[in-house]
């Protein structure tokens, strides 16, 4: 059943409308998109700052080369210039280790983009399951109405083929009517089972999904706090160096 739903999830037109959308999952879709946007903005800013800082450090390699070459033509200042050149080279190179640490923090933050996409996929699957439930309810309602029409308990809203036949050839035979009624009863029973099955699967999925979302939100707060503290500590280490 879930494989069929996953297939429908890929093929179903994105513009379909639910009669009874769940407000919790509607809100979750907005939350997931905002989370993705915010994390993406942080990562973009971080990358820009890191690129600028990395460039500042690497340009000191040019200064190191200049000081080293200059030391070769100076007698009294040669040692000092050589030391300055070594310092510039060290200043250029030590940024690599810090950038590697910062990239690891960034990679952990990127995972929340994937989490946000997973949340959106959960919402989409809930929509598909709700859509399937609503279609099964519509089918059940239609079959029950056809039965009531056959029993004379409901008026015919449209000119049906069966109604035309009755007017032209007269009422259908009792055995034919009984056969149609049995067929409808069988179809109603199948439709009722489908509705109950879809209701059970949809409710089970929603309860599990919402429980996992709450767990994710709590874990997210703790994880992000730890990540941002690690990032701040790293910046302090870089500034002290």
Q: Rounded CA gap, 64 and 87, in Å?
A: 7
Looking at the domain assignment, is residue 191 inside a domain? yes
pTM for this prediction: 0.70
Q: Residue 71 sits in which domain range?
A: 22-240
More confident residue, 153 or 32: 32
The set of residues, in sequence order, having a beta carbon less than 8 Å from that of 202 and lying 6+ positions away, is: 126, 129, 130, 132, 133
CA within 13 Å, CB half, 199: 8
Model pLDDT, residue 203: 95
Looking at the domain assignment, is residue 14 inside a domain? no
Q: Return the SS3 of 15.
A: coil
Looking at the domain assignment, is residue 126 inside a domain? yes
pLDDT in tens, 171-199: 567 788 888 889 999 999 999 999 999 99
Looking at the domain assignment, is residue 10 inside a domain? no
Model pLDDT, residue 14: 40
Model pLDDT, residue 222: 87
- Looking at mean pLDDT, say which of 48-52, 63-67, 95-99, 151-155 comes out highest: 48-52
Q: Rounded CA gap, 196 and 189, in Å?
A: 11
Q: What does pLDDT average to over the chain?
A: 82
Q: How many CB atoms lie within 10 A of CB 211?
A: 10
> 173: which DSSP letter?
P
Model pLDDT, residue 173: 72
- 15 pLDDT exceeds 60? no
DSSP class per residue in 99-129: HHHHHHHHHHHHHHHHHHHHHHHHHHHHHHH
Looking at the domain assignment, is residue 83 inside a domain? yes
Which among 54, 53, 61 has a CA at the least distance from the CA of 89?
A: 61
Looking at the domain assignment, is residue 15 inside a domain? no
- 60 pLDDT exceeds 70? yes
What's the total number of domains in the chain? 1
Q: Return the SS3 of 159.
A: coil
Tokens 């494989």 belong to residue: 3
Looking at the domain assignment, is residue 9 inside a domain? no
Q: Which of 24-28, 91-95, 134-138, 214-218 has the lowest mean pLDDT?
A: 91-95
Looking up residue 117, the CATH number of its domain turns out to be 1.20.1270.60
Looking at the domain assignment, is residue 199 inside a domain? yes
């Amino acid at each position: 059943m879930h494989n069929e739903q996953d297939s429908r999830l890929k093929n179903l037109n994105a513009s379909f409308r639910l009669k009874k959308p769940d407000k919790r999952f509607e809100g979750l879709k907005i939350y997931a998109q905002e989370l993705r946007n915010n994390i993406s903005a942080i990562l973009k800013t971080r990358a820009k700052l890191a690129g600028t800082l990395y460039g500042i450090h690497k340009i000191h390699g040019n200064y190191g080369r200049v000081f080293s070459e200059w030391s070769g033509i100076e007698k009294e200042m040669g040692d000092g210039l050589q030391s300055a050149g070594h310092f510039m080279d060290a200043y250029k190179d030590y940024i690599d280790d810090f950038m590697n640490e910062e990239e690891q923090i960034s990679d952990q933050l990127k995972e929340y983009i994937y989490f946000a996409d997973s949340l959106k996929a959960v919402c989409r699957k809930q929509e598909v399951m709700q859509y399937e439930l609503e279609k099964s309810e519509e089918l059940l309602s239609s079959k029950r109405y056809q039965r009531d029409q056959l029993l004379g308990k409901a008026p015919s809203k449209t000119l049906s083929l069966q109604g035309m036949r009755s007017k032209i050839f007269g009422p259908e035979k009792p055995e034919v009517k009984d056969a149609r009624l049995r067929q409808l009863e069988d179809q109603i029973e199948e439709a009722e089972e489908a509705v109950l099955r879809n209701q059970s699967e949809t409710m089970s999925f929603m309860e599990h999904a919402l429980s996992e979302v709450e767990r994710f939100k709590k874990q997210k707060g703790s994880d992000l706090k730890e990540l941002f503290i690690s990032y701040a500590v790293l910046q302090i280490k870089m500034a002290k160096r």
